[in-house]
């Protein structure tokens, strides 16, 4: 017997919780009015417990408010939209002033509250989100549009140069190591970045980049025997590596990447790619769902050997939220498969609302133990900021509303 799902009800739920709870939480608690930028280290009730600023989280918050500002369907007051614009500008100005190493143009990992460098640009992801953000800011800030376009494109070009060695001088692997691995995170993020910058970058380059990254994800990282996605492969030929890293599964990354590729499939009207993405999404869910306690496990080994990550059995906010996005987008792409997809949507949504949503303190908890109990009741920190939660509630609202209007 097929399960039911009230698309209208849940569309309203995601919209209302986003606008009445999540966005006010970050507006009320995260803005640093003294030094610029945002605080992300917030306790359960939004009090600041540490003032360090992390470039990728600063950038993600700018992106979120820039995205909200552009959406005319939200039916909010002009004052609210103005506040979103000002909040995005506030963060962008801080990033522009303090975020980069002036000698290389690369984006630091973290800064002090005042904007002094703390941690060098040891990975490429600060740059990925900085490029994404200034691409969005170029759309909404007419006065600084050309300047922001240049920042976005300069950063994008630097990312392109670093793709073969994204960590550069900070790569811990020995140059003579026989185990040279490449990470799934890079082609995954490049798919998303390409779509975000398609208004700035040559269409042929976007097409080439999305095709290259899609091919790498589907034909190399996605394993043909199991349908699961590995986190690392041999860099030389894309083959499997029998090591802790080479057997590692990160279900959240695999699932998030599938909705990135679903967006590409929609753009290209590629039903074959959409079907592969949905098959992969369901395969990962079947493999990683905790049948004993519910929820999606954080890390797994593809050979079912003991994972080396001590937090392997935790339940994390972003994994479940990215799964909700992927499931609703999958239903939108292939409604003929909605019986199976709705069964999973009901299951993941029920777990997420019952365990992560904080009816007392607002926003969502981030970290649960395997049993579903709150491990840390913070709302933000070094890894959790104003991004996965509002983005998921925003995209679930938009997609469910779209499905409901088509039905």
- For residue 213, what pLDDT is reported? 97
What is the tens place of the pLDDT at every residue in 374-407? Answer: 999 999 999 999 999 999 999 999 999 999 999 8
Q: Residues 148-184, buried b or exposed e (16+ Cβ, 10 A)?
A: bbebbbbbbebbeebeeebeeeeeeeeeeeeeebbbb
The stretch 188-202 carries a mean pLDDT of: 96
Rounded Cα distance between 388 and 229, Å, is 21
- For residue 164, what pLDDT is reported? 79
Q: Looking at the domain 32-170, which fold is it?
A: Glycosyltransferase (1.50.10)
What is the tens place of the pLDDT at every residue in 280-293? Answer: 999 999 999 999 99
- For residue 384, what pLDDT is reported? 98
Confidence of residue 1 (pLDDT cuts 50, 70, 90): low
Rounded Cα distance between 315 and 296, Å, is 6
Same fold flag, 1-30+181-407 and 32-170: yes
Does residue 169 surpass a pLDDT of 80? no
What is the tens place of the pLDDT at every residue in 47-72? Answer: 999 999 999 999 999 999 999 999 99
Confidence of residue 361 (pLDDT cuts 50, 70, 90): very high
Mean pLDDT of the chain: 96
Q: Looking at the domain 1-30+181-407, which fold is it?
A: Glycosyltransferase (1.50.10)
- For residue 157, what pLDDT is reported? 95
Neighbours of 304 (CB within 10 A): 9
The stretch 89-93 carries a mean pLDDT of: 98
Domain residue ranges of the chain, discontinuous segments joined by +: 1-30+181-407, 32-170
Does residue 167 surpass a pLDDT of 90? no
Confidence of residue 160 (pLDDT cuts 50, 70, 90): very high
- For residue 250, what pLDDT is reported? 98
The residue behind tokens 């992106």 is: 63
- For residue 313, what pLDDT is reported? 98
Does residue 166 surpass a pLDDT of 70? yes
Length of the chain: 407
């Amino acid at each position: 017997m097929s399960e039911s799902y009230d698309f209208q009800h849940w569309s309203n739920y995601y919209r209302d919780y986003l606008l009445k709870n999540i966005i006010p939480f970050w507006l009320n608690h995260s803005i640093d009015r003294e030094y610029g930028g945002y605080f992300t280290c917030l306790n359960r009730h939004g009090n600041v417990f540490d003032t360090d600023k992390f470039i990728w989280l600063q950038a993600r918050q700018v992106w979120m408010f820039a995205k909200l500002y552009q959406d005319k369907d939200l039916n909010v007051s002009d004052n609210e939209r103005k506040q979103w614009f000002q909040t995005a500008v506030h963060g962008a100005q801080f990033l522009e002033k303090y975020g980069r190493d002036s000698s290389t143009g690369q984006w630091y990992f973290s800064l002090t509250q005042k904007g002094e460098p703390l941690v060098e640009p040891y990975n490429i992801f600060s740059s990925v989100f900085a490029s994404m953000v200034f691409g969005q800011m170029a759309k909404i800030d007419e006065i600084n549009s050309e300047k922001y376009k240049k920042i976005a494109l300069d950063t994008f070009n630097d990312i392109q140069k670093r793709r073969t060695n994204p960590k550069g001088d900070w790569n811990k692997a020995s140059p003579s190591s026989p185990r040279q691995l490449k990470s799934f995170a890079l082609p995954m993020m490049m798919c998303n970045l390409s779509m975000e910058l398609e208004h700035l970058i040559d269409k042929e380059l976007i097409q080439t980049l999305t095709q290259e990254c899609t091919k790498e994800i589907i034909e190399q990282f996605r394993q043909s025997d199991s349908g699961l996605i590995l986190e690392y492969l041999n860099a030389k030929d894309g083959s499997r590596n029998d090591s802790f890293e080479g057997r590692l599964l990160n279900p959240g990354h695999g699932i998030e990447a599938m909705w990135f590729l679903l967006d590409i499939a929609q753009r290209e009207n590629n039903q074959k790619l959409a079907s592969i993405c949905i098959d992969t999404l369901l395969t990962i869910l079947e493999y990683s769902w905790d049948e004993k306690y519910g929820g999606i496990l954080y890390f797994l080994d593809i050979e079912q050997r003991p994972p080396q990550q001590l937090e392997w059995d935790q339940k994390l906010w972003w994994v479940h939220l990215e799964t909700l996005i992927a499931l609703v987008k999958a239903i939108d792409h292939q409604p003929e498969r909605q019986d199976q997809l709705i069964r999973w949507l009901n299951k993941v949504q029920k777990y997420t609302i019952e365990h992560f949503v904080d009816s007392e303190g607002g926003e969502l908890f981030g970290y649960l133990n395997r049993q579903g109990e709150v491990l840390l009741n913070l709302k933000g920190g070094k890894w959790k900021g104003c991004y996965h939660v509002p983005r998921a509630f925003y995209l679930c609202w938009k997609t469910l509303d779209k499905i409901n209007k088509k039905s």
